[in-house]
Structure 1
Amino acid sequence: MASATSYILFLSIFSSASALGAAQPRQSNISLDTSLYPTTNPTSWHSPNGRFAFGFYPEGTGFFIGIWLVASPENSTVIWTADRDDPPVTKDAVLKLTNGGLKLLLQHSEGRLISNISTGTDASSASMLDSGNFVIYDSNFHVIWETFDHPTDTIMAGQVLGSGSELFSSISETNHSSGKFQLSMQTDGNLVQYPVASPHYPADANYASGTNGDGYLSLYLDDKGWLYLHQGNVTSNLTSGYQNGTALVYRATLGVDGIFRLYSHDFELNTQQVLKEFPQVTDPCGIKGACGVNSYCTSANGQVVCMCLPGFDYFDTNRTWSGCRRNVTTTAGCYLGNDNMTYMSALKSVTWMDDPYDAPLSVTSDEDCSDACLKDCNCDAALFSDNTCRKQLFPLRYGMRDDSTTTFIKLVNTSAGGSSHAESPAAAPVIKIRRKYRAGRYRRLWRNKEPALVDEIAPRSFSYHELREATDGFKEELGKGAFGTVFKGALPRGQRAIAVKKLEKVVDEGEREFRTEMRTIGRTHHKNLVRLLGFCDEGTNRLLVYEYMSNGSLADLIFKADGHPNWDERVRIALDIARGIHYLHEECETRIIHCDIKPENILMDDNWTAKIADFGLAKLLMPSQTRTFTGIRGTRGYLAPEWHKNAPITVKADVYSFGIVLLEIICCRKNMELEAEEDAIVLLDWVHNCFMDGELERLVPDEVDMTELNRLVKVGLWCTQSEPGSRPSMKNVVTMLEANVDISLPPPPGFSS
């Protein structure tokens, strides 16, 4: 809970708005052309019962538009904020209800709509309802827009957090911009709280409802205080009911500390009570993500204090919770034959809730643990506890105090000749092998509390007749590829859009083997993988049913002539893809090599999230089936060199393909363009030449952050090294893309040591 000081500060920002609002009439119908103002009446519209207000509230140096629960002029709680991550507006702003919706009018700039109403629909009036929902009506009093459909950090009684929706915490009690935590109502039926700055793997979860596998559940809060998950005939209660009365109002809020709390407000007694917390912790440092990477959490009087590792400084001294980075621009790694270049710094009573990259070592002393890390080029840090040594990679995550653990950090001794810009061949790049120790951790973490989490989710078996009807006789073709043809369809009841792939030339393994493969693919669940919903194995028919991806492929985005995503979007898409491949390689139960990473196999969902398609299907192809070369599975231009050498194919083949895709994303062009200038026909060669000549600006079609461009190009060049062992793991790729490590100079792509 917030301290008394922060709570008083939080309440004080409403003093002017509440005082102005108290004298205004209670209003249930708001007509067109009615306006609100930040500092002059009217500043807000109230619900008929007077408990909720919609309008301007002061925050920081300006004003935001939101809804707050008004218990008295001295006690208000924000439950919704419009455009919460935009800068505050000035006192000259005006909010007006127009036939296009709520329009914010600003001096010296064009106005903007804060409500998105469907094209062809006109607003006629609006209301601030007693439920806390602000709604806009058409001329027939049908609701055409409502704040309940666009939650920020809170749901109120009567509000639903639908499948696939999220809540994001606020930064602080007095800053309602998006904060460090999110509560996701996942499409697998699991309600999970993650740190925003995490890969969103099961091991990152602070709380999970344990209902994964129950289908497309939604989170409900009713007027009796019941908080539950529901869909069809499946209901899972998170709380029991509480007192019901005309003076009681219930809300559930994801707090700035990452705890999801159910509150009751008693308007007769003018009190607020916390009824339930998810998760329940005694120490705020027990919440993963309370402090950022390479920092550890301590608590003082119930408040989080984040401390940097030795040799690290805060990313932002004004936001010490955002994490830390090295105060020299080199990684420790190894330095050829010079034992004085690196040393270990001990940090007593600190541990990390993250997996080691290698099997734990049995040692007899903390000195043995320190030496083991010092002599290991891959090791960045080591944790010693109970005669066990766990080697770690940077960035370190989820650090907290623990009297039984000592953390050793590998540092560079610059006084011994180390340079802050050293580029040692032995340390470039820091290729770190991460073995598969994270798989199954989600189950171990929750086994004693939530037995339902161990249930495996099997894709649904469809009949051929069902899928023929769902696709209207396989009428609408979405595309055709090496695995077969894809058709658009819809499931009955709810008309959920699906994509049905008719497989061709599948290995004739029989029903049992095919179903085994389907279960393997079906158990993969990640936000950056296209979800397998079902399959058909009737007779000779083999079909797969996927979630429908409405915004086409990455190829459609980056190769079109009339525009492309901006730089920030391209960087985000690259990180989406990297996280998906990393999951396939190291996080899912059965390790999967995709074998055909390319823009056509990266699809975009409704929210423009990039998702990898066709993973796990290479094993279903006939051994003789090829796409470009006999015996080779993949696509020309994206194939790693080992495909042509009869060498064993490992996950590093996917890393090479990703490197090519990353360069295509950066440059918004294909890996080979015969119409380009002679030195730019082959993208990989052109990128390396521009990199070495210091002419990276030639690569990009728009204005970008040159530091970030340099970093992404280096990642792409490391990924496309000709020797598989020289390529980084996808774990390291993700870390490099997140700017959490320094990246040394890559050799030419064809270099072989």
Structure 2
Amino acid sequence: MFSPLAWPTELRYSYYVAFRPAARLVFDESGEIYAEAKNGTRTTLQEDPNWRADLVLDTRNNYYRATLDYFGVLTQYVHSKDSNSQQQGWRILRYIPGDICTSVLDGYYGYGSGACGYNSYCSMIEQRPTCTCLDGYTLIDPSNVFGGCQPNFTLGCGGDEELQARPEDPYTFKVLNDVDFPLNDYEKIQPYTQDVCQQDCLKDCICAVAIYDNQTCWKKRLPLSFGKAKSGGQTILIKTRVAPLGTPPGSKSKKDKPVFIGLLTGLLVINVVLLAAVLSVIRLKKRKREIKVSSLLETNVHSFSYEALMDATWGFTEELGRGSFGIVYKGTIESRFYNEVAVKKLDGLAEGREKEFKAELNAIGKTSHKNLVRLIGFCDEGTNRLLVYEFMSNGSLANFLFAQAKPNWDLRVRFALGIARGLVYLHEECDTPIIHCDIKPQNILIDDNFNAKISDFGLAKLLLSDQSRTNTMIRGTRGYVAPEWFRNVPVTVKVDVYSFGVMLLEIICCRRSVLMLESGEEEKAVLTDWAYDCYLGSRINALVDDDDKGALADKGRLQRWVKIAIWCIQEHHEMRPTMGMVLQMLQGFVEVSDPPSPFS
């Protein structure tokens, strides 16, 4: 069953897709997906016409993958194995439910917002749900189109008699057709004309939206939920504000106007003199400036001026860290969603690459995943290239793994699964796969809720060819680098799989991949070599400390994860699993076979 959750709790609302009788959902080697009952009975997913059961699946010529998308749709994709095929990239093959905008309300009791957030409506465009704010409303979180919308004005409940007497009403109505909000009615009136329905809502300070259909007027209050595109002839009347905010209608009567105008004229003369003095002071004294931003097309990434970021970081004084991409500084911006930010000054960006720089940022700005550090904005001014990220208060994964007080086993498991989910998103769920090229604990940041988030993804493409390299002259960091970097061959997303395998061993063992050890312990110096020796000798327990009770008690997972790490660090990239397969193995959904030697 697919059910929305009452986040952040685990309370399930009513299901919107059900497979009965079913104990689990299976995605087999033939590419078929079906529901399987406890007695082994299989049922194909035929409840929706968009899930075609008559498809001929050809695993010899195609790859298949399935994703339960974050908006609640199970989608199966196909990718041709033929590099010369006219149809390249992942294409949607089938999906269920066919219309999440409508299906999520079926059998529902009205809890939650629906497929989209509150005060927005859902429509299916190119087989995917799209959320749109009502006129006069904007996104609560500009980076989350499914997060709901808020009015850009305040609905008031005062001065009704005066409002009726004024010819210039402070509210007007925007008309929207073929959209419905099936819930949130608090009054139904009929028979009414559309004009009377509109006037009734206008005089009602509670009424935010009225829906008119066939002489019936439904009045609705905020927040509006389960909005969806629906053809049917109904008319949506959306109440919006005409008068500017901070100018209450009726605040001055007609008899007060002459006195008011005289006072205003006198004050205007005084203000002109004062303004001239203030402008002179401003030229001599630097004051804090409001950060003004503009957005890149089709993304929520904002453009900052260099001067604004200098103010935000107090002249780049509080350094958070250094890396191959540049120096990171702590800063503060005035925003409803972000107060503290991390500002990274990039080094070594090639000259004349402004268009490519913005194109890459446009691609990164479209990404959105709970296990990726969110890119808020950038600066592309003169020779200055800066990136603005959300601030991660708990620092990097390295601070946790390599400190004296090591994180417990459950927390390490959570870190590893979160990182794997983030890499699956970058490799398999973005429009264009993004290769990180530098996966390591220092590039994994931890938020307030101890969620692991990948940082610096996509930056490798923004830098010169000799940047982000170690003494081995390959892109990445020594100890995490895949062997193909040495062979001067084109690299794939499998270089990230290799780095993840090394880091998974570090998470398991709470130690660095390469150490300088005392005489007699040289076999432990290189973690990948030592881990494989322990696996061959059935001494996996030696990889964790004796006081690591959680790992020792979870011996099945410990052994499985060591095997997964060895698969990830195979010498030949064809032998390594994809991150999607790695995640399934980590979760225990796919059996892990015995790995061969990774060094052959």
TM-score (norm 2): 0.57
1:694-737 per-position Cα deviation (integer Å, ceiling 9, x unaligned) = 11111012122100101110110000000000000000011111
**Larger helix percent:** 2
Change (3 A) 1:184 1:308: closer
The equivalent residue for 2:525 is 681
Q: 1:507 to 1:725 in 2, by over 3 A?
A: same
Equivalent residue number for residue 45 of structure 2 = 350
| Structure 1 unaligned regions, length at least 5 | 1-170, 172-178, 186-195, 197-253, 260-283, 291-296, 299-304, 313-322, 328-344, 364-368, 380-390, 401-433
Describe the SS at the equivalent of 2:5: strand
Cα distance in structure 2, aligned partners of 1:441 and 1:350 = 10
Q: 1:325 to 1:642 in 2, by over 3 A?
A: farther
Alignment correspondent of 1:53:
none
Query: Residue in 2 aligned with 1:306?
Result: 22
Going from structure 1 to structure 2, the CA distance change for 1:719 and 1:395 (only over 3 Å counts) comes to farther
For residues 385-404 of structure 1, what are the structure 2 equivalents within 5 Å? none
* Distance 1:481-1:182 versus aligned 2 partners, 3 A rule: same
Which of 572, 575, 584 is the equivalent residue of 1:726?
575
- Equivalent runs, 1:395-434 vs 2, <5 Å: none
Distance 1:398 1:539 in 2: 40
Shift of 1:673: 1.2
Structure 1 residue 652 displacement after superposition: 0.3
Quick one: structure 1 residues 516 and 360, their matched pair in 2 at CA, closer, same or farther if it must change by over 3 Å? Answer: farther
1:696 equivalent in alignment to 2:540: yes
Which is further off, 618-627 or 496-505? 618-627
Q: After TM superposition, give the deviation of residue 349 of structure 1 in Å.
A: 4.7
From 483, 487, 500, give the equivalent of 2:329.
487
- 1:108-147 equivalences under 5 Å are none
SS in 2 for 1:306: coil
Pair 1:502–1:326, CA change in 2 (3 A): farther
Paired residues for 1:67-78 under 5 Å: none
Shift in Å, 1:521 = 1.1
Residues 511-567 of structure 1: CA deviation (Å, up to 9, x unaligned):
333222211111111000000000011111110000000001000000112x11111
Report if the CA contact (8 A) 2:397-2:442 is conserved. yes
Partner AA of 1:547 in structure 2: E
**What is aligned with 1:572?**
414
The Cα of 1:630 is off from its aligned counterpart by 5.8
Structure 1 residue 741 and structure 2 residue 564: aligned?
no
1:684 maps to a residue whose letter is T
Query: What is the aligned residue count?
Result: 384
Structure 1 partner of 2:469:
627
Answer 1 or 2: which has greater strand percent.
Answer: 1
The 1-side partners of 2:475 and 2:502 are apart by 16
Counterpart in 1 of 2:455?
Answer: 613
CA distance 1:638–1:324, shift in 2 (3 Å): farther
1:350: how far off? Answer: 3.4
Residue pair 1:352, 1:399 contacting (<8 A) in 2 also: no
Match of 1:528 in 2: 371
1:498 has 2:341 as partner: yes
Q: Distance in 2 between matches of 1:352 and 1:656?
A: 41
Q: Are residues 1:717 and 2:566 paired? A: yes
Q: Tell me by how many angstroms 1:307 deviates.
A: 3.8
Mapping 1:182-581, distance limit 5 Å:
182-183=5-6, 256=12, 258-259=13-14, 284=15, 286-287=16-17, 297-298=19-20, 305-308=21-24, 347-351=42-46, 363=56, 372=58, 436-437=90-91, 446-448=123-125, 450=130, 452=132, 456-492=298-334, 496-561=339-404, 563-581=405-423
Q: Is the 8 A contact 1:458 1:522 kept in 2?
A: yes
CA offsets, 1:10-33, max 9 Å, x none?
xxxxxxxxxxxxxxxxxxxxxxxx
Note the C-alpha offset of 1:741: 1.0
CA distance in 2, matches of 1:632, 1:579: 26
The code of the aligned residue for 1:712 comes to W
State the alpha-carbon separation in 1 of the partners of residues 399 and 90 from structure 2.
35
1:477-521 deviation digits (Å, cap 9, x = unpaired):
001111111000000256700000011111223433322221111
How far apart are residue 361 of structure 1 and its match? 9.6
- Deviation string, structure 1 residues 15-59 (Cα, Å, up to 9, x no partner): xxxxxxxxxxxxxxxxxxxxxxxxxxxxxxxxxxxxxxxxxxxxx
Aligned-partner Cα distance in 2 for 1:440–1:392? 11
C-alpha distance in structure 2 between counterparts of 1:311 and 1:654, whole Å: 25
Deviations 1:177-217 (A, max 9, x none): xx9753559xxxxxxxxxx9xxxxxxxxxxxxxxxxxxxxx
Paired amino acid for 1:671:
S
CA contact (8 A) 2:22 2:36 kept: no
Q: Quick one: distance in 1 between partners of 2:362 and 2:349?
A: 17
Aligned counterparts of 1:580 and 1:652: Cα–Cα separation in 2: 15
1:623 CA displacement: 1.7
The CA distance in 1 between the partners of 2:67 and 2:365, in whole Å, is 32
CA distance in 2, matches of 1:635, 1:749: 19
Asked if structure 2 preserves the Cα contact closer than 8 Å seen for 1:486 and 1:499, the reply is: yes
- 1:445-502, CA deviations, whole angstroms, 9 ceiling, x for partnerless residues? 6525645369932311000111000001111000111111100000025670000001
What is the identity, as a one-letter code, of the residue corresponding to 1:498?
Answer: V
2:5 is aligned with what amino acid? Q
- Where does the alignment leave 5 or more consecutive residues of structure 2 unmatched? 29-34, 74-87, 101-122, 133-144, 147-296
**Residues 1:625 and 1:309: Cα distance change in structure 2 (over 3 Å):** closer
CA contact 2:346–2:385 (8 Å) conserved in 1: yes
| AA of the residue aligned to 2:90 | K
> How many Å apart are 1:346 and its aligned residue?
8.5
Alpha-carbon RMSD: 4.2
1:440 and 1:550, CA in 2 relative to 1: closer, same or farther beyond 3 A? farther
Kept in 2: contact 1:594–1:654 (CA 8 A) = yes
Q: Secondary structure at the match of 1:182?
A: coil
Relative to structure 1, is the Cα distance of residues 441 and 530 closer, same or farther in structure 2, using a 3 angstrom cutoff?
farther
Structure 1 runs (4+) greater than 4 angstroms displaced: 308-312, 323-327, 359-363, 376-379, 391-400, 438-446
Distance (whole Å) between structure 1 residues aligned to residue 530 and residue 543 of structure 2: 8
d(CA) in 2 for partners of 1:630 and 1:668?
25
The residue number in structure 1 matching 2:155 is none
Match of 1:660 in 2: 502
Are residues 694 and 184 of structure 1, via their aligned partners in 2, closer, same or farther at CA, if it must alter by over 3 Å? Answer: same
Which residue type is aligned with residue 502 of structure 1?
K
Distance change >3 Å, CA 351–CA 680, structure 1 → 2: farther
CA distance in 1: counterparts of 2:72 and 2:436, whole angstroms: 34
